Structure 1
Amino acid sequence: MADLILWRPLQELKREMDRIWQEFFGKSWLTERFESIEWIPAIDVSETDNEIIVKVDVPGVNPEDIEISLSDNVLIIKGEKKKEEEEKKENFYRMERYYGSFMRSIQLPCDVEEEKISATYKNGVLKIVLPKKPEEKKKVIKINVEK
C-alpha cells in the first residue's frame, strides 16, 4: 500500500521560485554580468539663440579621462570610469555602479565656432558650450500687417 503524501502546491511553487531567484540573482551572477554591460552616461542638449549646450552626467569620472572632439558637425565625447581598486577582495551582494569606457556622439543642429568651444566639469557634470556661427543665429523676421 502506497503512503499518501499531502501536496501543497503553493509551498512547492514558492520553493521553486526561491531557487530560480537565487540562481538568477546569486553573487556570481552579479559580478560576471555587470562587468560586461557598457556604460552610457545620460546627456542633455539644449539650444539658445547664441549657443548649443551639452550636459553629460559623468559622476566618478576624472576630467583628465575625458576626451572631447568635433568632426563633421558631430560632437564626440569619450571617457572612462575606472574601478576603484581595493587591496582586499570584496564579495558583492549588490553591484549597480557601472565602470569602463564610454562614448557618446551627438549630431549638432547647426554649425559652431570650433575655436570658441569651452568645457567645464563640476559635481560630476560635464558642461560643453558650443557657440553658434554668426550666420547660424536665429533671425527674427518682423511681420508687417496690412490694413
Structure 2
Amino acid sequence: MSSRNNPFDELERIFERLSREFSDASRSWNIGEPNMPWKTEESMALDLVEHDDHFIVAVDLPGFEREDVEVSVTDHMLRISANREQEIEDKDTQYIRHERQHRTEERSLALPDAVDPENVTARMKNGVLTVTLPKIEDDESRTIDIE
C-alpha cells in the first residue's frame, strides 16, 4: 500500500463541502416555485437499489394516497409525479393556520441500465412508494463488419 496522498482527495473534500453548503443554503430559499428541482428533490426523497436482475426504487411520499401518484417509465428513465388536491371541508371555516394545501411534486430518475417497462410494478404503503424495475437482459451482441 502506498503512503502517497491521492491528489484528488483534497478536491473531493472541497466538492463535498460545497455540496453541503449549497444544500444548507437552498433549504432557506423560499422561491415559491413548486417545480424547482432543488425543492422537489428535497421533498421527494428516494433510494435506488440495484440487484442482479432488477432495481428497486423506494420513494417517500407522505400525505399522498395511491390515487394521487403516477409512475411512468421508459427503458432508462423513471418519472414519478404526485398531485394532492386541496380539500376544503367548509367554505366558512376560519383557519388560524392553513398549511396543508394543494401540493404537486415531480421527480425523474435516470436509471443506470435499461429496464423492461412492461414488467415494472409499483405499490404504495404507509406513504412509501416502492417501484420494482426488472432489467433487460442484453445478451445479444453482434459483430459489425467494417467497410
What TM-score do you get using the length of structure 2 for normalisation? 0.59
CA contact (8 A) 1:69 1:77 kept: yes
CA contact (8 A) 1:66 1:77 kept: yes
Corresponding position of 1:112 = 115
Q: 2 CA distance for matches of 1:53 and 1:66?
A: 17
Shift of residue 85, structure 1, vs aligned partner: 2.1
CA contact (8 A) 1:82 1:99 kept: yes
Taking a change above 3 Å as real, the CA distance of residues 129 and 72 of structure 1, as seen in their structure-2 partners, is closer
Q: 1 CA distance for matches of 2:104 and 2:56?
A: 23
CA contact (8 A) 1:61 1:82 kept: no
| Coordinate RMSD, CA, aligned | 2.5
Shift of residue 99, structure 1, vs aligned partner: 4.4
Corresponding position of 1:70 = 73
Which residues in structure 2 correspond to 1:97-108 (within 5 Å)? 99-108=102-111
Taking a change above 3 Å as real, the CA distance of residues 105 and 52 of structure 1, as seen in their structure-2 partners, is same
Match of 2:138, SS state, is: helix
Choose which of 110, 132, 135 in structure 2 pairs with 1:132: 135
Q: 1 CA distance for matches of 2:66 and 2:126?
A: 11
Taking a change above 3 Å as real, the CA distance of residues 62 and 51 of structure 1, as seen in their structure-2 partners, is same
Larger radius of gyration: 1
Letter in 2 for 1:70: V
Corresponding position of 1:89 = 94
Corresponding position of 2:23 = none
Q: What is the aligned residue count?
A: 101
Per-residue CA deviations over 1:61-108 (Å, capped at 9, x if unaligned) read: 12112111123511111111233323212121x84x674111100000
Uncovered stretches (5+) of structure 1, i.e. residues with no partner: 1-32, 137-147
Q: 2 CA distance for matches of 1:80 and 1:129?
A: 22
Decide which moves more: 116-125 or 71-80. Answer: 71-80
Shift of residue 37, structure 1, vs aligned partner: 5.3
Taking a change above 3 Å as real, the CA distance of residues 99 and 55 of structure 1, as seen in their structure-2 partners, is farther
Which residues in structure 2 correspond to 1:43-82 (within 5 Å)? 43-71=46-74, 73-82=76-85
Uncovered stretches (5+) of structure 2, i.e. residues with no partner: 1-29, 140-147
